[in-house]
Structure 1
Amino acid sequence: MSLVRAGLSLDVRVPATSANLGPGFDTLGLALSVYDELEVIVLEGAALEIEVTGSGADEIARDASNLVVRSIAHVFADVGVEMPGLRLSARNGVPHGRGLGSSGAAVAAGVLAAKGLLRGIAELDDRALLRLATELEGHPDNVAPALFGGLTIAWSGEAGPRHKKLLVHRGVSPLVLVPGYTMSTSAARSLQPQQVPSEDAVFNVSRSALLIAALTQSPDLLLDATDDRLHQNYRAPAMPETDRLVRALRAEGFAAVVSGAGPSVLVLCDGPGRRLDAVALADAVTDAPWEHRMVAVDVQGGTVRNRAEATSSRS
């Protein structure tokens, strides 16, 4: 019998993320104001009910193999508590298979849901949340901004995965260009060589350091700061339209990069007005339609709240 009481109801919200940001391969991530929302209700017994709407709904599992469910179960197993029966209602706003962190968002949502369910039974701090999410996702660069918001630097060491959250300069205005086709992260990773020239590694180290300064202090440096030699060129043959769009935007001075593993394009403009110019250029150089999303940097990250407490606080 689970220690979690039946009837407990939670609301979870997790932002989309864009990883790499050009040179910061497997290290830098940015939370964006596009969200997955999850309602969790504890049931009697061991029943599992799943409802999904929004992006990817037709392909998402409705059983224990569901990634959110697996993430919740992973946390419960880690703390040695039996998982209760659950009803999950997911509303997916994060596009699936587009390089905007949909799997990281699902993992973060599950980990945060577990934290809410285990409140008063087992306490989970930020380091534990990141460790558990990274064990599921494999890399911390997407789950860190999904959990904590803002710009995150993620790394792993002897103490496990760690992160540092930074506030982004208010002049940075993100634009996301989303195509109608998808890209597999594993397929994108398979195109990269195991070794790269030392001059390319040095190039990316310098640009990654510059990118932190550009995003936090000097948005006028974003074009130079988002240049990359480690992964985007190797992956370009798998998504030629994405590569074409990135090159066209950069040629006109826009800090455009492949978002995560692609195929979406992230443009980091140095002012909101510049996003309109980027959209006009994108429409002019692409054959197929791309969805334009003028988003903000999410500074809060993932949230979980008890619905009963939220209701009582408003009354």
Structure 2
Amino acid sequence: MSFEIIVPATSANLGPGFDSIGIAVSRYLKVKVEASTASWQVEHQLGKDVPTDERNLIVKTALQIAPAIQPHHLIVDSEIPLARGLGSSSSAIIAGIELADHLAELNLSQLEKLQLATKIEGHPDNVAPAILGDLTVSTYTADQQVFSIKGHFPEMALMAFVPPTELLTTASRSVLPAKLNFSTAVKASSIGNTLVAALFAGDLKQAGQLMEQDQFHEQYRAHLVPHLAKLRTLGHQAGAIATYLSGAGPTTMTVIDLKSCQRFADLVAASGLSGELLQLKVERQGVVIR
């Protein structure tokens, strides 16, 4: 019997929540699992650089967890742009875990899935909301334990600006400093801590101000994403709560009231910036199988 795995896209960091805060958003990776086959067949429209056999990240992840599972024909339909800061690799990893769990009848708990996904991905900011949905705040400790708390992101629209060019996470991480001095680290973490408190309290005014005061990564990546500063200014003109770099970029996310979305879209259209503007919302549910 065939089944379908549906994984939401995600947006991580939210400014100062570096490698820890994430939200699930309304774009999806859908994987239809069809009949068993002699070898893995992954049908997709993602381009020639994405493997169509056991090297595909979905299958590769599944085989890490359950090496003996029977090959199947998979039909992949993804609305999540690759290497743009919307959790494309995390969604594939989650789909692979669900594939292994279902085919091998592992009956993994959400915590076990989160532990596996974080170990594979390296940090939980994208994988946690993809599994749990909504807003998550997570950490991966030195002894490789994952702790994740799910919250409720306030009812706001999200305007994702997706540039036409990729920005690989490896390239985006290579510009980050190896160390921060003590006073900067204290300031950066205090901003992140207060952002979490504001989000959980539903205080959008404070949360928005704090999202734009990151000290961990955005300033170091600024030359890779020159559109961020311009979009932040346009967001303020449209009455947005905040604009931040989504994950490693190059996508930016603007948190805005629904009635102001068109005003922001008009300003972006008139700005001359090259890219696609997507109107999204927070997805309250994580990965599902149907």
Structures share a fold, TM > 0.5?
yes
Contact 2:7 2:286 in 1 (8 A): yes
Q: What pairs up with 1:74-153 in 2 under 5 angstroms?
A: 74-77=64-67, 82-119=68-105, 122-153=106-137
Quick one: which of 244, 254, 261 aligns to 1:257? 244
SS in 2 for 1:35: strand
Contact in 2 for aligned 1:223/1:250 (Cα 8 Å): no
The runs of 5 or more residues in structure 1 that have no matched partner are 1-7, 306-315
Taking structure 1 as the reference length, the TM-score comes to 0.85
**Contact 2:238 / 2:260 at 8 angstroms: preserved in 1?**
no
Match of 2:277 in 1: 292
Q: Do the aligned partners of residues 177 and 192 (structure 1) sit closer, same or farther apart at CA in structure 2, a change above 3 Å counting?
A: same
Contact 1:222 / 1:268 at 8 angstroms: preserved in 2? no
Q: Which residue of 1 aligns with 2:6?
A: 13
2:237 matches 1:244: no
CA contact (8 A) 1:256 1:268 kept: yes
Give the structure 2 partner of residue 68 of structure 1: 58
CA RMSD for the aligned pairs?
1.9
Which whole-Å CA distance do the structure 1 matches of 2:23 and 2:183 have between them? 27
- Which letter does structure 2 place at the counterpart of 1:15? P
How far did residue 280 of structure 1 move?
A: 2.5
- SS at 2:90 equivalent: helix
Alpha-carbon displacement from aligned partner over 1:189-217 (angstroms, at most 9, x marks no partner): 00000112333322322322232244341
Query: What CA distance in whole angstroms lies between the structure 1 residues aligned with 2:217 and 2:69?
Result: 40
Note if contact 2:222-2:228 (Cα within 8 Å) is conserved in structure 1: yes
Q: Does 1:33 align with 2:11?
A: no
8 Å contact from structure 2 (residues 119, 144) kept in 1: no
Identity across the alignment (%): 32
Cα 1:197/1:280, change in 2 over 3 Å: farther
Q: Which residue of 2 aligns with 1:51?
A: 43
Whether contact under 8 Å (2:21, 2:137) holds in the other structure is yes
- Distance in 1 (CA, whole Å) between partners of 2:236 and 2:249 is 17
State the distance in 1 between where 2:151 and 2:100 align.
26
The 1:32/1:161 distance shift into structure 2, 3 A limit, reads same
| Distance in 1, Cα, partners of 2:173 & 2:108 | 32
Mapping 1:131-210, distance limit 5 Å: 131-157=115-141, 158=143, 160-170=145-155, 172-210=156-194
Question: What CA distance in whole angstroms lies between the structure 1 residues aligned with 2:132 and 2:169?
Answer: 22
Q: How far apart are the structure 2 equivalents of 1:209 and 1:278? A: 29
Partners of 2:154 and 2:189 lie apart in 1 by: 21
Q: Partners in 2 of 1:51 and 1:288 — Cα distance?
A: 34
Counterpart of 2:49, as a letter, is E
TM-score (norm 2): 0.92
Distance change (3 Å), C-alpha of 1:186 and 1:159: closer
Instruction: Please point out which of 260, 265, 268 is paired with 2:255.
Output: 268
Whichever residue aligns with residue 256 of structure 1, its letter is T
SS at match of 2:281: coil
Secondary structure of the equivalent of 1:95? coil
Separation in structure 1 between the aligned mates of residue 145 and residue 229 of structure 2, nearest angstrom: 34
Distance in structure 2 (CA, Å) of the matches to 1:96 and 1:233: 23
TM-superposed deviation, 1:135? 2.1
Q: 1:221 aligns with which of 206, 209, 215?
A: 206
